[in-house]
A and B are shown apart, each in its own frame.
Chain A
């Protein structure tokens, strides 16, 4: 089945550690996105990529990094510079007319 896979579903890390969230899609979409979701704030765009080996910052890119070495994969690294990393992270891929979302990763930093 085609879709987007985010792993893991739940992730715990100690403060000061970098952590990488996985996002893989087999929909052959060029565009991929990372969003952060906090209660009452909707989805805020962290990074997006419209083609392999290219990506752009979204509205809240500070403390995050991404790579797009393959069309299928768009991993997000939450670095120790991110001041408040505990959140629900959603990955998406899209055609020009529709976005498809993964099931999300809930990251808790303690």
Chain B
């Protein structure tokens, strides 16, 4: 069955520290892959997406993600986290319908 897994439910980092949020997918072939961010009570905002080509994808707000076929992963990274990055992050994948992971809630300590 198609699935997207985010192993970490909560992550806490200090402001200025680096960040990596994990995402693994299970599909017959490489799906389209996305990272979204959600602030409390709001809809989802697209951070970045991968379809094909360069496996390192740049997104908004200084985020990037690397697609690794051998690991079926699409991890999100940011070199230096800001307090405003505290939110919930969702990885998603799919072809004709989007399937979401359970989300990772990021807390940022000053």
Where the two chains meet, the residues of A that have a C-beta atom closer than 8 Å to any C-beta of B are: 4, 31, 33, 35, 40-45, 48, 50, 58, 88, 90, 92, 94, 96-104, 106
Contacts and interface: CB of A to CB of B under 8 A. Distances in A.
Contacts of A31: 96-97
B35 interface: no
A72 B43 CA distance: 19
A104 B97 contact: no
A103 B92 CA distance: 18
B44 A90 contact: yes
Interface residues of B, number: 23
A42 B101 contact: yes
Interface string B1-38: 00000100100000000000000000000001010100
Interface string B77-110: 0000000000000101000111111110000000
B56 interface: no
B53 interface: no
Interface of B: 6, 9, 32, 34, 36, 41-46, 49, 51, 90, 92, 96-103
Given A97-B51, A98-B49, A90 B99 contact: no
Contacts of A92: 44, 98
B79 to A, nearest CB: 25
A100 B34 CA distance: 12
A99 B101 contact: no
A103 B42 contact: yes
A98 B36 CA distance: 11
Contacts of B45: 101
B100 A101 contact: no
